[in-house]
Amino acid sequence: MSGAISSAANDDARFSLGYPDPETAQDAYDAADLNRAITAYRFFYPTVVGAAILKGNLDCGLVPNKVFGTMHSGPEQIVYTTNNDTPYGPLLLDLGVGPLVIELQPGALIVCSIDVNQRWVADMGLPGPDGGKGGKHVLVPPGWQGELPSGEGIYLHEASSNLQIVGARALPVGGDVESAKQLLTTIKVYPLDPTAAWDEPQWIDLTGVEQDGTPIAYEREFHFWEVLHRTLEHEPAFAGYHNEYGELAALGIGKGTPFAPDERMKDILTRAAQIANDQMRVQSFADRRPDRFPWPDRKWEWASLRYEDGDFNTAFHTDLEAREKWFYQAIGASPAMFRRDALAGSLYWLGLRDGKGAYLDGGKNYRLSVPLSVPGRLFWSVTVYETDTRSQIRTDQNKAALRSMFELSDLTGDSVDLFFGPEASDGQVARWIKTTPGKGWFAYFRIYGPEGGAFDGSWKPGDFDEMS
């Protein structure tokens, strides 16, 4: 067999004595580097988005460990598939000062901490180990060797980067948004070491503030790689990414190494960003996996498949395909988000096609029929996003969602019709989201506190039906 291989190489006009000539070698180098860069882009896309989230919050006035925010999110915040079902509390933490304690009071809080790579670190509050009963959650920096506390009501979470993006949400019980925002400000953060220098963090209201927490402006450009390099320089290396760091090193991107690519490599990295971004868009919006459908007779898809952790791990491998699909259109992940049972904090479905299989078109009008009652202990909503930004749709209506605690709080009967399109007829306006001609859009159907019917198929929404 080896002789046949050797003979084939010698007969190939690209090789002399089995060795590549300079032109053949250069073509192979270029192809190998392009393939490496495409693979690296897809894997490290969540890291670059994590850096964009940090920058977007910093640009709004947040300061790690010093200034936190509250926000009733709206279309003015460009962040992948956020919603205004509940107020958010963005907190940036820097564990470079040592372990930090996040102390929660009992209440309807949903809190998740992720690192700059968007790796899951901790669930707290209702979906966490405290179950909404309050407690002290200790975020431990990578490599920490000091003593750590233990005891009832104390929960330890090991982080893999010093910078932590903590997303807190407060459920607006009875539709009371202001009280929910006040509940967010009861979250206390302080060092585990009581002798450490520390000032009580301030809270600012970011509601209505323009924000961009995405890399959309440069995700198809060479600057993507510059942001990635800066992020790797700032944070400790994560041992779980050992092989993937090797792909970057082959491209001249390494921790402690100046990033100075020549024109050839700049061109390859730019092309890779464009190709890989196209591939991720196809995976996200033209998924072919047979396990994506929650109901065989509907066009709705799972926004994410099911995993037992927050890092897309199965028993045998990391589901990179699902990981890429998720992080192209969403931020953060946790076991609580992937759980499909009555203990889950929330449940998401993705709608991007009408009942005939065509993509949703901002120039057309649609009706969505939702059977009542929706199987959720808390509330439910439908939120519309633009395909270009993967963020809440922005029109002169300045509205992206229909929510059971707000616009749909007075529902009666066996079902309700919701409307989407550039125009609404008389009687539809109160239950209508305006869309933009010439642009595509998709929706997330969310249930908070899902019940059995959301999982066993006894309840399901209709498809989006185009109206004449």
| Residue 8 confidence (pLDDT) | 53
- Range in 170-184, 330-344, 368-382 the model is least confident about: 330-344
Residues 220 and 197 reside in one and the same domain = no
Average of per-residue pLDDT across 87-100: 96
Confidence at 235, pLDDT banded by 50, 70, 90: confident
6 assigned to some structural domain: no
Residue 308 scores a pLDDT above 80: no
For residue 60, the SS3 value is: coil
Residues 315 and 385 reside in one and the same domain = yes
Residues 133 and 263 reside in one and the same domain = no
Distances (CA, A) of 389 to 125, 138, 300: 30, 35, 20
Q: What confidence tens digit (pLDDT) does each residue in 362-374 have? A: 999 999 999 999 9
Residues 257 and 334 reside in one and the same domain = no
Residues 113 and 38 reside in one and the same domain = no
Task: State the DSSP code for 313.
Answer: B
Average of per-residue pLDDT across 281-291: 94
Number of separate domains in the chain? 3
| Residue 188 confidence (pLDDT) | 98
pLDDT top residue among 273 and 339: 273
Confidence at 4, pLDDT banded by 50, 70, 90: very low
Residues 305 and 395 reside in one and the same domain = yes
Residues 342 and 377 reside in one and the same domain = yes
Residues 306 and 392 reside in one and the same domain = yes
The vertex-117 CA angle with 114 and 118, nearest 5°, equals 40
Q: CA Rg, the chain, in Å?
A: 24
Last-in-domain residue among 263, 284, 305: 284
Confidence at 3, pLDDT banded by 50, 70, 90: very low
Cα of 157 vs its chain's centroid, Å: 20
Tell me the DSSP string of 340-356.
-STT-SEEEEEE-BBTT
CB neighbours of 133 closer than 8 A, spacing ≥ 6?
106
Residue position matching structure tokens 């600012």: 204
Last-in-domain residue among 173, 208, 243: 208
203 assigned to some structural domain: yes
Confidence at 9, pLDDT banded by 50, 70, 90: low
Residues 179 and 223 reside in one and the same domain = no
Residues 180 and 245 reside in one and the same domain = no
Q: What is the mean pLDDT of the chain?
A: 92
1 assigned to some structural domain: no
Residues 461 and 314 reside in one and the same domain = yes
Q: What confidence tens digit (pLDDT) does each residue in 182-220 have? A: 999 999 999 999 999 999 999 999 999 999 999 999 999
What would the two tokens of residue 226 be? 């510059």
Residue 256 scores a pLDDT above 50: yes
60 assigned to some structural domain: no
59 assigned to some structural domain: no
CATH number at residue 82: 2.60.40.1610
58 assigned to some structural domain: no
Spatial separation of the C-alpha atoms in residues 147 and 143, rounded to whole Å:
12
Residues 198 and 222 reside in one and the same domain = no
List residues bridging with 340 in a β-sheet. none
CATH number at residue 303: 2.60.120.600
Q: What confidence tens digit (pLDDT) does each residue in 389-425 have? A: 999 999 999 999 999 999 999 999 999 999 999 999 8
Q: What confidence tens digit (pLDDT) does each residue in 94-142 have? A: 999 999 999 999 998 999 999 999 999 999 998 899 999 999 999 999 9
Average of per-residue pLDDT across 296-303: 95
Average of per-residue pLDDT across 12-32: 85
Average of per-residue pLDDT across 23-46: 95
Last-in-domain residue among 174, 208, 242: 208
Can you give the residue range of the structural domain that contains 132?
65-208
Residue 30 scores a pLDDT above 90: yes
225 assigned to some structural domain: yes
Cα of 13 vs its chain's centroid, Å: 49
For residue 110, the SS3 value is: strand
173 assigned to some structural domain: yes
Residue 5 scores a pLDDT above 50: no
| Residue 6 confidence (pLDDT) | 47
| Residue 305 confidence (pLDDT) | 74
CATH number at residue 233: 1.10.3360.10
Q: Name which of 89, 100, 212, 84 is nearest 159 in CA terms.
A: 100
For residue 211, the SS3 value is: strand
